[in-house]
A = this chain, B = another copy of it.
Amino acid sequence: MSFSQRLERAARLVEAQLARILDIAATEGVPSRLVTALRHATLGGGKRLRPFLVLESASLFRVPPEAALPTAAAVECMHCYSLVHDDLPAMDNDDLRRGQPTVHKAFDEWTAILVGDALQAVAFSQLAGPQAYGDAATRSELVHGLALAAGLGGLVGGQYLDLEADKLGLPAQPTAADVERLQAMKTGALIRFACEAGAILGRADAAGRQALAQYGTLLGSAFQIADDLLDVEGEAAVMGKAAQKDLRKATLVSVLGVEEAKLRLARLEAEAIEALRPFGDDAEVLRDAVRFVVQRRA
C-alpha cells in the first residue's frame, strides 16, 4: 500500500468507528438533533492525521489496526471537540471548517458547547471501557496520556495562551520561544500522544516509547510551521477555511519570517526522520508522514 492509500485507509477506518459510536448513541435515546450535530462535528472529512499516527505507530509493534482503532477514535474525538470549541464566537469566531459551516453556525452556540463537552467525555469512555482493551494497565495509561494532552499542559493551556495573546494583548512582543511553547501545547501535545499511543498499545520498552514521543514532538512542530506557511501562502478556496486569518495571532512565520521558518521546517523534517532510526525499515510509513506534513498544500 502506498502512503496515501494508508492515510485513506486510516481515515475510512476511523470514520466508520466514529459513525458506529454515534449510531449506538442514537439507539440509546440520545436526542436526534444532538446526534446530528455530533455527526456534523466528527464526520465532516479532514485528513485524520492523528488517528493515522495512532494506527501506524501501533503497527510498528505488530498491533493490528482494529486493535488500535478505539484509541484512534478517542484521539480524533478529542481533536474534533477542540475544533468545535475553538471555532465558537467567544473564541476564534470561525464560520467555516473544512469547507462546511462550523457547528455553532449549522446549529447554535449552546449545541456546539455541548457537542464539544460530549466528545471529550466520549473520548475517555472509549478508552476506559473493558470492550476496548482487555488489559486495564493499558487502558489507564492511555486515559492518563490523553487527559494530559487535553488539559492544562495541552489543548486547553495552548488555546488559553493563544487567546490571551489575542484578546488580552499578552505578551506584546512574543518571542519564538513563546510561540513554540504555545504550539507545543495547542497542537503538539495531542500529535505527540497519538504517536506515543502506539507504543503504549504495543507495550514497547522505554526506549521505543521515548523515540515515538520524540518523533511526535518534532512532527507536531513541523505540522504547525507548515500550517502557518500555508496560511501565508495558501488560498481560502484550497483550504476550505479563511486563509490569513491566523495571522492576527503570532506564529513562527510572523516572528521569524518566511525564509527562517522554512529552514526550521527542513531541520525538523530531518530530525523527525532521524528519531525513527531505531525502527529501521518498519517506520517507512511514518517517515512518509513527515514528508507529507512538510509538503502538504492544503
* Chain A residues proximal to chain B, CB less than 8 Å: 25, 28-31, 33-34, 85, 88, 90-91, 108-111, 113-114, 116-118, 120-122, 124-125, 127-130, 136-137, 139-141, 143-144, 146-148, 150-157, 159-161, 163-164, 167-168
Do residues A156 and B31 form an inter-chain contact, with CB atoms below 8 A?
A: no
Selected from B113, B155, B164, the residue in CB contact (under 8 A) with A31 is B164
**Neighbouring B residues of A154 by C-beta, 8 Å:** 121
Do residues A33 and B164 form an inter-chain contact, with CB atoms below 8 A?
A: yes
Copies of this chain per assembly: 2
**Neighbouring B residues of A137 by C-beta, 8 Å:** 136
Residue of B nearest to A78 (CB): B121
In the complex where A117-B120, A137-B136 touch, is A30 in contact with B152 (Cβ < 8 A)? yes
Q: How far is the CB of A89 from chain B (nearest CB, A)?
A: 8
**Neighbouring B residues of A159 by C-beta, 8 Å:** 114
In the complex where A88-B113, A121-B151, A136-B137 touch, is A143 in contact with B156 (Cβ < 8 A)? no
Residue of B nearest to A150 (CB): B121
Inter-chain pairs besides A31-B164, A91-B110, A128-B128, 18 sampled, C-beta below 8 Å: A29-B153, A31-B160, A34-B152, A34-B160, A88-B113, A90-B108, A90-B110, A113-B113, A117-B150, A118-B151, A120-B120, A120-B121, A121-B155, A121-B156, A122-B152, A124-B147, A125-B144, A136-B137
Do residues B110 and A167 form an inter-chain contact, with CB atoms below 8 A?
A: yes
Do residues A153 and B30 form an inter-chain contact, with CB atoms below 8 A?
A: yes
Residue of B nearest to A125 (CB): B147
**Neighbouring B residues of A108 by C-beta, 8 Å:** 90, 167
